[in-house]
């Protein structure tokens, strides 16, 4: 198997597959051009122009997400504002999610919102995908197709295996749940560190007020710590709220971390140290440490089982 890497000019760190050096060079060039050229004709009608505040937020979260890379020994990888596209909410196509990272387009798509903190959370999550380990992989099939690895999530290398995996767990990708849990956990830590950021002061205040009201009125659901933004509309008494995504996946990750910590007291002293093993694998693409810790804690082959884990929806 050939393995190509070069200086980072797009989300991709590697090209994996049976291709010539010329093909690899052309693929790198194409990725770099896509990263730099973000005027997609197909998007123009759907895209919303960014406000000054949104531009400022993008610059702040670019910095904050670089800090995660540095933590795991990686260089900064700056994402210019043009690579985040805000899509008008009326035409947003994904029901379950407020953001989408598209490696093939080197772009994050974010659903329009009037709440800056919600925009920040959505854009941060996609930026973590953008800055996690990225690879272009060719399938082993005859008409070798291009697949992507983003962080931990990866596609099987043949179409037949992808179809079989999709039938088995609902998505044709391994480690989807773990990758999303880790990405949203990074996002949660960012949002919770912003309580004093003036960019978000109005929604922080609104959320505190609304949660106090919820406490007085026994609205338990609103007190869930996953809810990071809540507002009561005065006229209608309706509640507008946003919660951190992938609660089931993050719950499972937390259980895993607790177990690893408990069973390896000589190796790990805190939950954060265990979290780092997972997150380091997502950012650097190096799975050895994670595989070793999993096998040692839970027995050989555990990582394979986790690769296929998809939580049932509540």
Binding site for Zn ion (CB under 5 A): 180
Q: In three state form, how does the secondary structure of 75-105 look?
A: CCCCCCHHHEEEECHHHCCCCCCCEEEEHHH
Which residue sits closest to Zn ion, CB atoms considered? 180
Provide the edge-to-edge strand list for the sheet that holds 107-111.
47-48, 84-87, 107-111, 99-102
Q: Which is nearer to Zn ion, 180 or 242 (CB)?
A: 180
- For residues 69 and 284, the answer to whether their CB atoms sit within 8 Å is no
Give me the least distance between CB of 93 and Zn ion, in Å please.
Answer: 16
Give me the least distance between CB of 191 and Zn ion, in Å please.
Answer: 15
Read off φ and ψ for residue 101, nearest 5 degrees. Answer: -100, 125
Partners of 134 in the beta sheet?
Answer: 150
Give me the least distance between CB of 92 and Zn ion, in Å please.
Answer: 15
Q: Which is nearer to Zn ion, 54 or 185 (CB)?
A: 185
Give me the least distance between CB of 100 and Zn ion, in Å please.
Answer: 8
Q: Which is nearer to Zn ion, 13 or 180 (CB)?
A: 180
Q: Which is nearer to Zn ion, 173 or 227 (CB)?
A: 173
Partners of 232 in the beta sheet?
Answer: 239
Rounded-to-integer distance, Cα 268 and Cα 204, Å: 35
Q: Which is nearer to Zn ion, 112 or 180 (CB)?
A: 180
Give me the least distance between CB of 301 and Zn ion, in Å please.
Answer: 26
- For residues 227 and 245, the answer to whether their CB atoms sit within 8 Å is no
């Amino acid at each position: 198997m050939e393995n190509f890497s070069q200086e980072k000019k797009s989300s991709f760190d590697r090209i994996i597959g049976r291709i010539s050096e010329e093909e690899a060079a052309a693929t790198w060039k194409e990725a770099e051009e896509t990263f730099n050229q973000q005027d997609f004709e197909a998007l123009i009608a759907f895209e919303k122009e960014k406000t000054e505040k949104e531009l400022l937020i993008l610059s702040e979260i670019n910095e904050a997400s670089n800090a995660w890379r540095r933590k795991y020994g990686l260089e900064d990888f700056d994402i210019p504002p043009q690579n985040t596209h805000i899509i008008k909410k009326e035409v947003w196509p994904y029901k379950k999610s407020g953001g989408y990272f598209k490696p093939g387009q080197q772009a994050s798509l974010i659903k329009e919102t009037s709440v800056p903190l919600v925009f920040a959370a959505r854009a941060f999550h996609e930026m973590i995908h953008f800055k996690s380990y990225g690879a272009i992989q060719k399938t082993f099939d005859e008409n070798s197709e291009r697949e992507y690895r983003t962080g931990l999530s990866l596609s099987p290398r043949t179409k037949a295996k992808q179809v079989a995996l999709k039938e088995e767990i609902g998505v044709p990708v391994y480690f989807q749940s773990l990758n999303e849990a880790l990405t949203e956990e990074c996002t949660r830590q960012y949002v919770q560190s912003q309580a004093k950021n003036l960019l978000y002061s109005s929604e922080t205040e609104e959320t505190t007020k609304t949660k106090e009201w919820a406490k007085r009125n026994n609205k338990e659901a609103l007190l869930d710590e996953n809810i990071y933004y809540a507002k009561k509309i005065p006229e209608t008494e309706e509640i507008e709220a946003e919660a951190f995504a992938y609660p089931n996946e993050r719950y499972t990750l937390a259980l895993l971390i607790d177990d690893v910590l408990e069973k390896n007291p000589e190796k790990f002293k805190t939950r954060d140290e265990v979290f780092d093993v997972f997150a380091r694998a997502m950012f650097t693409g190096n799975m050895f440490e994670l595989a070793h810790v999993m096998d040692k804690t839970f027995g050989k082959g555990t990582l394979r089982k986790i690769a296929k884990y998809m939580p049932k929806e509540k």
